[in-house]
Structure 1
Amino acid sequence: MSQNACHVIVAGGGISGLTTAWFLRQAGVQVRVLEKDPVPGGTMQTLRQDGFLIDLGPNSALETTPFFNLLFKELGIDGERVYADSTGSRRYILRNGALHVMPMSPGAFIGTRLWSTRGKLRLFGELFAGRADHEETIAEFVKRRLGQEFLDYAINPFVAGVYAGNPEQLSVRAAFPKLYALEEKYGGLIRGAIKGRRERRRRAETAKQSARMFSFTNGMNTFPAALARALGGDVVLGAAVEGIERDGEGWKVTYAVNGARMREEASAVVLAAPASQASGLIAGLDAALACSLEQISYPPVAMVFTGFPASSVKRPLDGFGYLVPSKESRTILGTIWSSTIFPNRAPEGHAAFTTFVGGSRQPEILDLDDGKLIDNVTCELQSIIGIQGGPSFTLLQRWEKSIPQYNLGYGEVLRRIDAFEAQHPGLFICSNYRGGIAVGDCVVSADRTARRIGEFFSTRT
Structure 2
Amino acid sequence: MTQAIVLGAGISGLSVALELQAQGVDVKVLEASQRPGGAIGSIRHEGFLAELGPHTVAGSNAAVETFLHRTGLSERRLVANAESKRRFAVRDGRVFALPGNPMDLLKTEYLSGAAKLALLREPLAGPARDDVDESVTMFVKRRLGEEILEYGIDLMINGIWAGDPNRLSMRHAFRKVWGLESDYGSLIKGGIKKAKAAKEDPGPKFSKELFSFPEGNQELALKAAAMLDVEYDANVVALESGKKWSVKFTQGGKKRSLKADLVVSALPGWVLADLPIDKMSTGFLHALNYPSLAVETFAFKREDVDHPIDGFGMLVPKVENRRILGALFTSSLFSGRAPDGYVTMAVFSGGLRDPQMSQMPRDARRKIVLAELADVLGVHGSPVWEYESYWEEAIPQYEVGHGRIVVEIEALERRHPGFFVSGNFRDAVSVPDLIASGTELGQRAAQYLD
Contact 2:292 / 2:359 at 8 angstroms: preserved in 1? Answer: no
Q: Which residue of 1 aligns with 2:215?
A: 218
In 1, are the aligned partners of 2:234 and 2:250 still within 8 Å (CA)? yes
Q: 8 Å contact 1:84–1:341 — kept in the other structure?
A: yes
* Distance change in 2, residues 1:198/1:261 (3 Å): farther
The one-letter code sitting in structure 2 at the alignment partner of 1:264 is L
Pairing partner for 2:416 from 415, 424, 427: 424
Structure 2 equivalent of residue 47 of structure 1: 43
- After TM superposition, the structure 1 = structure 2 runs for residues 433-448 of structure 1, keeping only pairs within 5 Å, are 433-448=425-440
1:166 partner letter? D
Q: TM-score, normalised by structure 2?
A: 0.96
SS at match of 1:333: strand
Contact 2:274 2:283 in 1 (8 A): no
Residue 237 of structure 1 corresponds to 232
Distance 2:363 2:328 in 1: 20
- Work out whether residues 163 and 405 of structure 1, in 8 Å CA contact, stay in contact via their aligned partners in 2: yes
Moved more, 372-381 or 263-272: 372-381
* Distance of 2:162 and 2:242 partners within structure 1: 40
Cα distance in 2 for partners of 1:194, 1:136 equals 24
* Deviation, structure 1 residue 393: 1.5
Contact 1:270 1:427 in 2 (8 A): yes
Asked whether the 8 Å contact 1:164–1:361 carries over to 2, the reply is yes
Give runs of aligned pairs for residues 369-384 of structure 1, distance below 5 A.
Answer: 369-384=361-376
SS in 2 for 1:103: coil
1:452 aligns with 2:444: yes
Q: Which amino acid aligns with 1:179?
A: V
C-alpha displacement at 1:377, in angstroms?
1.2
Counterpart for residue 279 of structure 1: 273
For residues 79-158 of structure 1, the aligned pairs below 5 Å read: 79-133=75-129, 134-158=132-156
Q: What pairs with 1:389-428 in structure 2 (closer than 5 Å)? A: 389-428=381-420
Q: Provide the residue aligned with 1:196 in structure 2.
A: 194
1:74 correspondence with 2:70: yes
- Counterparts of 1:199 and 1:167, CA distance in 2: 30
- The whole-number CA distance in structure 2 between the counterparts of 1:304 and 1:86 is 24
C-alpha change, 1:37 and 1:435, in structure 2 (3 Å) is same
367-376 vs 215-224, which moves further: 367-376
Query: What secondary structure is seen at the aligned counterpart in 1 of 2:126?
Result: coil
Q: Once structures 1 and 2 are overlaid, which stretch shifts more, 328-337 or 385-394?
A: 385-394
Q: With structure 1 as the length reference, what TM-score do the two structures score? A: 0.94
SS in 2 for 1:281: coil
**1:351-370 residue pairs with structure 2 within 5 A?**
351-370=343-362
| CA deviation profile, 1:331-383 (whole Å, cap 9, x unmatched) | 10000111111111112211101000100100011232111211111111111
Q: Which residue number corresponds to residue 333 of structure 1?
A: 325
Residue aligning to 2:295 = 303
- The 2-side partners of 1:382 and 1:204 are apart by 46
Offset, 1:438:
0.2
Structure 2 partner of 1:266:
260
SS in 1 for 2:273: helix
Q: Would the aligned equivalents of 1:374 and 1:394 in 2 still touch at CA under 8 Å?
A: no
1:388-438 Cα deviation digits (max 9, x unpaired): 222122221110010000000000000011111011111000101112100
Q: For residue 403 of structure 1, give the secondary structure of its aligned residue in structure 2.
A: coil
> Can you give the 5+ residue segments of structure 2 that lack an aligned partner in the other structure?
none
Alignment root-mean-square deviation, CA:
1.4
> Aligned pair 1:63/2:59, yes or no?
yes
Q: What are the Cα deviations for residues 34-78 of structure 1, in whole angstroms up to 9, with x where unaligned? A: 000011110101111232111111111112312222222221122
1:269 maps to a residue whose letter is V
CA distance in 1, matches of 2:125, 2:358: 40
Q: Distance in 1 between matches of 2:316 and 2:223?
A: 35
Q: Hey, what's the Cα distance between the residues in 1 that align with 2:375 and 2:258?
A: 56
Q: Deviations over 1:80-118 (max 9, x none)?
A: 210111010111111001111221211100000111001
Moved more, 95-104 or 31-40: 95-104
1: CA distance between counterparts of 2:276 and 2:422?
14
Look up the SS of the partner of 1:247 in the other structure.
Answer: coil
Question: Which amino acid in the other structure matches residue 138 of structure 1?
Answer: V
Counterpart of 2:170 in structure 1 is: 172
Residue 254 (structure 1) shift: 0.6
Q: Secondary structure of the residue that 1:13 maps to in structure 2?
A: coil
CA distance in 2, matches of 1:238, 1:17: 16
CA distance in 2, matches of 1:420, 1:434: 13
Amino acid at match of 1:214: F
Whether contact under 8 Å (1:59, 1:215) holds in the other structure is yes
Paired with 1:387 and 1:403, the residues of 2 have a C-alpha distance of: 29
Secondary structure of residue in 2 paired with 1:242: strand
Shift of the alpha carbon at 1:194?
1.5
Partner Cα separation in structure 1 for residue 37 and residue 367 of structure 2: 30
* Comparing 353-362 and 67-76, the one that deviates more: 67-76
Query: Does 2:340 align with 1:344?
Result: no
**Quick check: 1:36 aligned with 2:28?**
no
Partner of 2:10: 14
Q: SS of 1:23's equivalent? A: helix
Matching residue of 1:247: 242
The one-letter code sitting in structure 2 at the alignment partner of 1:243 is: A
Code of the aligned partner of 1:81: R
Distance 1:268 1:226 in 2: 24
Q: Distance in 2 between matches of 1:241 and 1:200?
A: 44
What is the CA–CA distance in structure 1 between the aligned matches of 2:43 and 2:384, rounded to whole Å?
17
Q: Look up the SS of the partner of 1:315 in the other structure.
A: coil
